[in-house]
């Protein structure tokens, strides 16, 4: 299990919470961005800069994230692709994306994008607040618990059956 952060727009508070969880649980973290992003000097934390053009950081995340990993992104189309790959996905405001809600959120995002394209002025998201920070912390704890349990089940399922009868 690894934690991936779509780091171009992730709030500092989100990254700090993830770094603390990484240290506590000994989990690798990779920040992926289109520009250089600071990361603490820690063997569990890596920063990848992808400068090849628009959405290349997203493509990198899609190519490298595996089922059971955790991704943090506010990018709903990216979240939809990652959910389809069985990656646990959290928005920096604490929204958990899954099979039940990602299509609805993608539709709402596309509708807002079309309205902006048609000339309507829509407000953007409000500033990142302490309520958002708290919601993210709770969601991160829930997702870490789910991902760790799934990882443990996968290890048990792949272990050889020592109780099998030999011929």
pTM higher than 0.85 for the full model? Answer: no
pLDDT above 70 coverage of the chain, percent: 81
- Residue range 62-77: mean pLDDT, rounded: 95
SS3 101: coil
Tell me the per-residue pLDDT of 127-161, one tens digit each, with 9 for 90 and over: 899 999 999 999 999 999 999 998 887 777 776 76
pLDDT at 81 (0 to 100): 93
- Kindly list the domain boundaries of the chain, sorted by start residue: 2-154
Q: Pick 2-154's CATH classification: 3.40.50, 3.30.429, 3.40.1000, 3.30.2310.
A: 3.40.50
- Residue range 71-82: mean pLDDT, rounded: 93
- Pairing type for strands 45-49 and 28-33 reads parallel
* Residue 72 backbone phi and psi in degrees, to 5: -120, 120
């Amino acid at each position: 299990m690894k934690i991936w952060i779509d780091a171009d727009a992730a709030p500092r508070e989100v990254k700090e919470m993830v770094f603390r969880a990484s240290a506590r649980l000994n989990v690798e973290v990779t920040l992926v961005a289109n520009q250089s992003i600071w990361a603490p000097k820690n063997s569990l934390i890596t920063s990848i800069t992808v400068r090849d053009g628009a959405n290349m950081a997203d493509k990198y995340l899609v190519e490298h994230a595996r089922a059971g990993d955790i991704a943090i992104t506010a990018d709903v189309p990216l979240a939809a692709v990652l959910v389809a790959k069985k990656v646990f996905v959290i928005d920096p405001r604490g929204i958990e994306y899954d099979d039940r809600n990602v299509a609805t959120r993608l539709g709402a995002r596309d509708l807002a994008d079309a309205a902006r394209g048609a000339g309507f002025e829509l407000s953007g998201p409000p500033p990142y607040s302490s309520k958002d920070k708290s919601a993210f912390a709770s969601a991160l704890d829930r997702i870490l618990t789910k991902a760790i349990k799934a990882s443990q089940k996968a290890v048990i399922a792949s272990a050889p059956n020592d109780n099998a009868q030999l011929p």
